[in-house]
Amino acid sequence: MFPDATAPAVTSVFTAVLTEGPLSRVALARRLGLSSAAVTKAARPLIELGYLEELAATERTGPGAGRPASPLTVRAGREFFVGVKITGDELIGVLCDLRAEVRASAHRRLVAADVEHVLAELAELVDDLLGSYRDRAHRLGLAVSGDVDQATGLVRYSPFLHWRDVPLGELAARSTGLTVTVENDVKALTTAEQWFGEGVGADSFALVTVGAGIGCGLVVNGRLVSGAHGVAGEIGHVGFDVDGPACHCGSRGCVEAVAGTDAIVGRAREVSGRPGLTLDDAVALARAGDAPLGAVFARAGTAIGAGIAAVANLVGPARIVVSGEGLSAYDLFEPHIRAGFQRQAFGAAADCPLSIRPLPFEEWARGAATVSIKALVAS
């Protein structure tokens, strides 16, 4: 059982050690603006319950100080978490420790995307992943595309699963017996970056994802931004071309309608006159010098760059990470993403550093596990 998280110092101390540790009590007091006594009081139950432990003394607290400090660190094996990314045709699952390090992973194909089938396959996947960790794993994080109410576990709308108003958290808890947290997949991945990746220590940053959809997670003043309606950061539905193709959201010319995987494949089939063309085919031909297909990726990259510039102009993050499974063709996108960003970014916003790196789907599942870790800390 996790200590009483209603005591703010307990939550603050544990979160700091988890994301930035090992840290001495003196460093924690300085970092959190607490007294040394308050840090010691907050750390005591965390140590007693096995969430934190003291390392051997390695540093002195200052010139002429007494005995060296003993840094606090997280006991990663104290508890384990399952994270699952749900796509339209596959479940990708991981088992993570308390530091979100992946201990095991597994995939299950979906022959259908209806809720009953997904839940049945999810229960089997979770059972496979738990294995010998069952007695130390009590939480499941689920990452789903679309409009998700994280507080209730309701999937209001998932375009790639074709779900509307599905109480996924409640249903998954019933089928797995675990405490379930459901989050939008991009926000889950952003949480993992904030706690354990490029966002550690950053007051503000943005994560833009490229793939079937174009998503964006935002951290401002150290907090993940959801907005009043839970859909903040949907740059895939920022207008790029008012006369552009229709988008599944009902509008036209959205970034996603130009740069999403389906949009790219559809446009590539049009310009090549090959109705059976796949994304891999289009990538190979564009790399081989096919100019019309190269132009399809160039336009997509420009649209993505414009969407990223909108984020930089509106929020002004310290850094922006561009990722997602769609970046397997990053060489075709990257120069156009950067050019589109530079063209649309206003003033000093154009100086915001862009880090472009692809991530496998296991990282999205790790994001789901991180959300469940965060839920434990906030419980």
Residues 206 and 354 in one domain: yes
Residues 281 and 301 in one domain: yes
Nearest alpha carbon to residue 154 among 163, 48, 120: 163
Residues 92 and 70 in one domain: no
Residues 85 and 225 in one domain: no
32 close to 2: Cβ distance less than 8 angstroms: no
Calculate Rg over the CA atoms of the chain.
22
* pLDDT at residue 66 greater than cutoff 80: no
Rounded to 5 degrees, φ, ψ at 109 are: -75, 145
- Region 227-233 average pLDDT: 69
Residues 150 and 264 in one domain: no
For CA atoms 262, 265, 269, 271, the dihedral sign is positive
- Region 325-348 average pLDDT: 87
Residues 112 and 216 in one domain: no
Cβ burial of 151 (10 Å; 0-12, 13-18, 19+) is exposed
Range in 16-30, 58-72, 73-87, 362-376 with the lowest mean pLDDT: 58-72
**SS3 at position 47:** helix
Residues 158 and 217 in one domain: no
Residues 342 and 249 in one domain: yes
368 close to 135: Cβ distance less than 8 angstroms: no
* pLDDT at residue 358 greater than cutoff 80: no
Tally of domains within the chain = 3
Q: Which of 74, 99, 122 is the last residue of a domain?
A: 74
Task: Please list, residue by residue across 78-104, b when 16 or more beta carbons sit within 10 angstroms of its beta carbon and e when fewer do.
Answer: bbbbbbbbbbeeebbbbbbbbbbeeeb
**SS3 at position 359:** coil
**SS3 at position 203:** coil
Instruction: Please tell me the total number of residues recorded for the chain in this structure.
Output: 379
Q: How many CA atoms lie within 13 A of 294 on its CB side?
A: 8
pLDDT band at 197 (very low <50, low <70, confident <90, very high): confident
Q: Which of 56, 74, 92 is the last residue of a domain?
A: 74
pLDDT band at 244 (very low <50, low <70, confident <90, very high): confident
pLDDT (tens digit per residue) in 280-326 = 999 999 999 999 999 999 999 999 999 999 989 988 888 898 888 77
Q: What is the pLDDT of residue 61?
A: 46
- Region 181-201 average pLDDT: 90
191 close to 224: Cβ distance less than 8 angstroms: yes
The residue written with tokens 């990538």 in the block is 283
Q: Residue 102: enclosing H or E segment and its boundaries?
A: strand 102-109
- Region 366-375 average pLDDT: 96
pLDDT (tens digit per residue) in 87-108 = 989 999 999 999 999 999 999 9
Percent of the chain with pLDDT over 70: 94
147 domain-assigned: yes
User: Which structural domain range is residue 298 located in?
Assistant: 202-358
Residues 92 and 158 in one domain: yes
CATH of the domain at 42: 1.10.10.10
Q: Average pLDDT, whole number, for the chain?
A: 89
Q: What is the pLDDT of residue 188?
A: 94
Residues 216 and 345 in one domain: yes
Nearest alpha carbon to residue 283 among 265, 270, 299, 266: 265
CATH of the domain at 246: 3.30.420.40
